[in-house]
Structure 1
């Protein structure tokens, strides 16, 4: 159950961080305005809180593992929201990153 909770928290964190960055991007680069930027800043702040609920007590481990989730999540966001089509190297890279998440977070330790 702890692994499921951790994976769900990683997904929620990715949604908050990637979504927040996308909102800021839209506000600035696509000139959608300050409300978009403000919503992005709030979402980015929420990311920090979500990450703090990870069951593992080691900040460095959680953030390092989250990096892999962020990579894969960013590519998925691009596909779902921006019409991005990843090539095989994007997909292989994301798979390597996700394998790193599994090794960093869920490998049995003494």
Structure 2
């Protein structure tokens, strides 16, 4: 699997997970109702499916690497959906997380 395909799967997983969590948040915290909550639960389930499409067979590695994408994606989602304005420390932290994701997932291994 190419790095581009793998990164695309991470981005798709992030859209489902972060979007699902956001929908549940909206349903409960913003009182938008059970349809929003149900849609969020469905999206969260799809996140779990997409994560299985990564080429690596090690669940721990895939989920650990995905964590970096989740951090950066959460900041980006907040900017788009809620008008969140990250400061330089938010951006720096997200970049560090993405660098960690790249090391965990794409470092050459002797197997």
**TM-score bracket for the superposition, by shorter chain length:** over 0.9
Q: Find the aligned partners of 1:91 and 1:5 in 2 and give their Cα distance.
A: 24
Aligned match of 1:86 = 86
Structure 1 segments of 4+ aligned residues over 6 angstroms from their partners: none
Q: Find the aligned partners of 1:76 and 1:109 in 2 and give their Cα distance.
A: 31
- State the Cα deviation string for residues 60-86 of structure 1 (Å, max 9, x = none): 000000000000000000001100000
**Gap runs ≥5 in structure 1:** none
Aligned match of 2:42 = 42
Aligned match of 1:103 = 103
**Gap runs ≥5 in structure 2:** none
Shift of 1:2: 1.6
Within 5 Å, which residues of 2 pair with 1:1-110? 2-110=2-110
TM-score of the aligned structures, taking structure 1 as reference length: 0.98
What is the RMSD of the two structures over their aligned residues, measured on CA atoms? 0.6
In 2, are the aligned partners of 1:61 and 1:104 still within 8 Å (CA)?
A: yes
Aligned length: 110
